[in-house]
């Protein structure tokens, strides 16, 4: 039985990953400070999942949680671009220094693999589409800068200490359980919750901005593959759908799923947001065997059913 530690394991991506790892018969230790993650996300898990309340900014907590871990998957982060613009210092403390703390603990604990959840935000408004891992980074926000720094720390630890690291540049992940009640919530949960409740969704900008939306099950699969692939060690790899979708096209897709016309309202764009984004996922295919099996439409339908269920009276 392999031992996994998942930092941020009570969050949206983390809780999906923890459940999947447990279903595969692994022992999973979750480290989370529950600032944004929720214990409810981990309800119903068996004794193979241990929950440790702690913060990645605390080296003592990290070293304790990382004991005897075969695989360390580092998801804990301050993930909001607007929040990073408002408070860049805290973002750096969590995302950069926090990653360094977890890397040191993984190195000292003899982990077999360290997987970082990085972000497509490191590319900025790249003129090259689809975005490739060897494109020059151009981060536009403190959040993006912190993720790029974390990637460099991973590569340094791989070269200096022989710790096999993989940095996964997640694109725009969505799915059931994603929070829509935060002012910094991602576009799909905000849209789907509004539509399920009969409200008009709000688009920041003109709606022609594009993203590479990738369903949560695809991201979980890619993350597990990154723990196992020998060829992935020391690499940075895009994880997305490889499909560019505008926010207006997203609105049209939700109209089809909901079975009624959805008319969005428009607001000013948010600081630090990029204009266009889509990833080249050929390296993930080559190194991980990643296939992105759940399409955007199927994922949107599954997520919409989740939000419809939340709006139904008890």
Q: Specify the pTM.
A: 0.94
Residues 205 and 223 in one domain: no
Q: Is 311 exposed, middle or buried (0-12, 13-18, 19+ CB in 10 A)?
A: exposed
DSSP state of 95: I
Asked whether residue 189 falls in the same domain as residue 72, the answer is no
| pLDDT < 50 regions, the chain | 313-314
> What is the structure's pLDDT at 61?
95
- Strand-pairing partners, residue 204, are 267
Determine, yes or no, domain membership for 289.
Answer: no
What is the residue range of 249's domain? Answer: 175-211+243-277+294-311
Let me know: does 187 contact 209? Beta carbons within 8 Å.
Answer: no
Do 66 and 138 fall within a single domain? Answer: yes
CATH number at residue 250: 3.90.25.10
Say whether 63 sits in a helix, a strand or coil: helix
Q: In the chain, how many domains are there?
A: 2
d(CA 289, CA 267): 40
Is 143 noted as a catalytic residue in this protein? yes
Catalytic: which of 4, 71, 123, 143?
143
Looking at the fold, whether 161 and 269 belong to one and the same domain comes out as no
**Do 57 and 87 share a structural domain?**
yes
- Identify the pLDDT of residue 274: 82
Give the pLDDT of residue 185: 60
125 and 158 together in one domain: yes
Classify residue 225: in a domain, yes or no. yes
Q: What confidence tens digit (pLDDT) does each residue in 260-291 have?
A: 988 889 999 888 778 999 999 999 999 999 99
Question: Looking at the domain assignment, is residue 283 inside a domain?
Answer: no
């Amino acid at each position: 039985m392999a031992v996994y530690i998942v930092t941020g394991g009570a969050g949206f991506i983390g809780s999906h990953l923890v459940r999947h790892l447990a279903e595969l018969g692994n022992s999973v230790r979750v480290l989370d400070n529950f600032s944004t993650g929720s214990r409810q996300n981990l309800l119903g898990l068996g004794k193979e999942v241990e929950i440790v309340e702690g913060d990645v900014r605390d080296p003592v907590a990290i070293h304790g949680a990382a004991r005897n871990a075969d695989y360390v998957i580092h998801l804990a982060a301050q993930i909001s671009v607007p929040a990073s613009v408002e408070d860049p210092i805290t973002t750096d403390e969590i995302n950069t220094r926090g990653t360094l703390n977890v890397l040191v603990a993984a190195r000292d604990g003899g982990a077999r693999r360290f997987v970082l959840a990085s972000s497509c935000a490191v590319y900025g408004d790249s003129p090259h589409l689809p975005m490739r891992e060897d494109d020059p980074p151009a981060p536009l926000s403190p959040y993006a800068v912190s993720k790029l720094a974390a990637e460099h720390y991973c590569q340094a630890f791989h070269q200096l200490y022989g710790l096999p690291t993989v940095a996964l540049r997640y694109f725009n992940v969505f799915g059931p359980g994603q929070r829509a009640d935060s002012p910094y919530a991602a576009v799909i949960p905000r849209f789907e919750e509004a539509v399920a409740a009969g409200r008009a969704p709000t688009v920041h900008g003109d709606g022609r901005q594009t993203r590479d939306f990738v369903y949560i099950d695809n991201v979980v699969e890619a993350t597990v593959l990154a723990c196992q692939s020998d060829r992935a060690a020391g690499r940075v790899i895009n994880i997305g759908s490889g499909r560019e979708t505008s926010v207006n096209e997203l609105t049209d897709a939700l109209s089809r799923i909901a079975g009624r016309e959805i008319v969005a309202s428009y607001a000013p764009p948010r600081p630090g947001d990029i204009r266009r984004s889509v990833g080249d996922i050929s390296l993930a295919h080559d190194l991980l065997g990643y296939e992105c099996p759940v399409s955007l439409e199927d994922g949107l339908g599954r997520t919409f059913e989740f939000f419809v269920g939340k709006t139904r009276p008890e």
